[in-house]
């Protein structure tokens, strides 16, 4: 099983730095693979708890080198919930990556463990009769359970 590594997060950070410097990022220090993945950016200032600044990924398996490169920039610059990350924010950023593996169908809404499982919720919005979905990575529920909003 492939696990997310520090080298993957470093590659995403290098990709964002290269975007602002107009250079190519250095080659990745991890092996290629094909997996669904997410890139998350958080920003901490004045010793505060880091706050979400962008998080986008894909549930479709991707080549992880090109996937991390694409989603590092997409989550930093095109997450519609936030303004694009600016180069002056780089010193305050934290980057984490998630690789999704071993999908399971839950038996019911209580069939999951906080911190171990992520959730993909799909439903039809009864007000607009539109299909909606949300993806929650394993660390999101653990963070919320600890009382950090």
Whole-angstrom distance, CA of residue 61 vs CA of residue 2 = 13
Q: Is the pLDDT of residue 146 over 80?
A: no
Could you report the per-residue pLDDT of 112-134, keeping only the tens digit for each?
888 888 888 888 999 999 998 88
Residue 122: what pLDDT? 86
Please give the CATH architecture assigned to the domain spanning 1-103. Answer: 2-Layer Sandwich (3.30)
Q: Is 12 exposed, middle or buried (0-12, 13-18, 19+ CB in 10 A)?
A: buried
What DSSP string describes 74-134? HHHH--TTSPPPPGGGGGGEEEEEEE-------SSTT---TTT--EEEEEEETTTTEEEEE
How large is the average pLDDT for residues 65-89?
97
Where does CATH 3.30.700.20 sit in the chain? 1-103
- CA nearest 6: which of 35, 34, 30? 30
Q: What is the DSSP pairing of strand 130-136 with strand 119-125?
A: antiparallel
Percent of the chain with pLDDT over 90: 66
Give the model's pLDDT for residue 139.
Answer: 76
Average pLDDT, the chain: 90
Q: Each residue of 44-73: pLDDT tens digit?
A: 988 888 999 999 999 899 999 999 999 999
pTM assigned to the model: 0.84
């Amino acid at each position: 099983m492939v696990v997310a590594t520090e080298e993957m997060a470093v590659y995403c950070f290098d990709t964002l730095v290269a975007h602002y410097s107009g250079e190519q990022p250095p080659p990745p220090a991890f092996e290629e693979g094909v997996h669904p993945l997410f890139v998350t950016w958080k920003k901490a200032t004045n010793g505060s708890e880091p706050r979400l600044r962008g998080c986008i990924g894909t549930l479709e398996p991707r080549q992880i080198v090109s996937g991390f490169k694409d989603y590092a920039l997409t989550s930093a610059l095109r997450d519609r919930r936030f303004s694009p990350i600016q180069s002056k924010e780089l010193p305050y950023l934290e980057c984490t990556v998630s690789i999704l593996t071993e999908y399971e169908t839950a038996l019911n809404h209580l069939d999951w463990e906080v911190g171990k499982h992520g959730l993909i919720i799909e439903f039809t919005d009864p007000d607009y009769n539109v299909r909606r979905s949300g993806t929650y990575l394993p660390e999101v529920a653990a963070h919320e359970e600890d009382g950090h909003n």
